[in-house]
Amino acid sequence: MSYSPAFLKSDIVPFPTLNENQRNSFNEENLDVNDYLLSYDNFSLLHNPFRKFPFYTATNIDGKLIKEIKRKELFDGNGDKWTKDSRIPDNHQFGTELYSAEKSDFDRGHMTKREDVQWGIDIESAKKAAESTFFYTNAIPQHKKLNRGIWLKLENYILHHETISKNLKIILFTGPVLRNQDPEFVTPINGMPIKLPTLFWKVIYYENSENELMRVSFITNQQDILEKNRVIKPIIVRTVDRLPEKSQHNFQKFKAAETYQTDVSLIESLTNLTFHKAIEIFKEKRPVRLIEQSTNVRGLTDTVIIKNITL
């Protein structure tokens, strides 16, 4: 089954909504946005045919039903098997032409983590769900120092330290920030320049002990690493206005003054998506430029420290 908005008991959590300009971009090309809302096992995603990456993925995670399956056990033990999704045009998604290109010093970064959907009533259903994450529509180029560093640590914290250990059910939205000012990949693909996302975010919905719907969000950045390794052309990031003042209460904290935690209003302002309302303790006050600078990952040894967790 694909993403279910009714996965949590306290409220319906619908897909994030596009703004008018984003919807109009589909209409201008005579495309139906619903054709790009793709269903997989335990998750769905909305694909952006213009950037050829997902706007977001939407995942249901049931900590009680997670199955332990090693990655090497998938696809009959033959290793990863990435494929394009035949439900949308081939030229509306990237595949090996991007990930095997010259200077493609990056991983196929899962937006919905393989293990996140690796649950079900039996091993076979969990394995099928895990294999469904290996579509290129669910991938975005991520430098290994992000994908195997802070991003992985955050993914593992959400899944293993919270969802599984506390037998929680959560909803997880994940995606890139797709901006016009994103940097160009140094290698043209099929003779055309392409832009690579540098910012990635997660928005988590869960129920507290009083069955109230809560949400929390995180953001990280790979621009510095991509520039340092000459994967992208250098860019200048613009500054925008400050965001609302921070609450006196902190929900989750990362190293260096909540470096990677933010509030959903920031994610909305960057992505132009609108998320379902829920109780949110953390309030961001840093300018976007400072956030982008402070969330730039440095290496595989970057440390995540999360305190006062109350999922």
Q: Please indicate whether residue 276 is annotated as part of the active site.
A: no
CA-closest candidate to residue 115, choices 68, 72, 153, 148: 68
Neighbours of 71 (CB within 10 A): 13
CA-closest candidate to residue 116, choices 197, 77, 193, 173: 173
Among the options 47, 110, 143, 276, which is catalytic? 110
Torsion of CA 282, 287, 293, 295, to 10 degrees: 10
Classify residue 2 by burial, with Cβ atoms within 10 Å: 0-12, 13-18, 19+. middle
For 89-229, where are the E strands, in sequence order? 107-110, 139-142, 169-176, 199-207, 213-221
- 299 three-class SS: coil
Output the known binding site.
147
Q: Name the β-bridge partners of 202.
A: 174, 218
Output the known binding site for Mg(2+).
147
| Rounded Cα–Cα distance for residues 150 and 17 (Å) | 28
| Rounded Cα–Cα distance for residues 273 and 175 (Å) | 11
Mind telling me the catalytic residues?
110
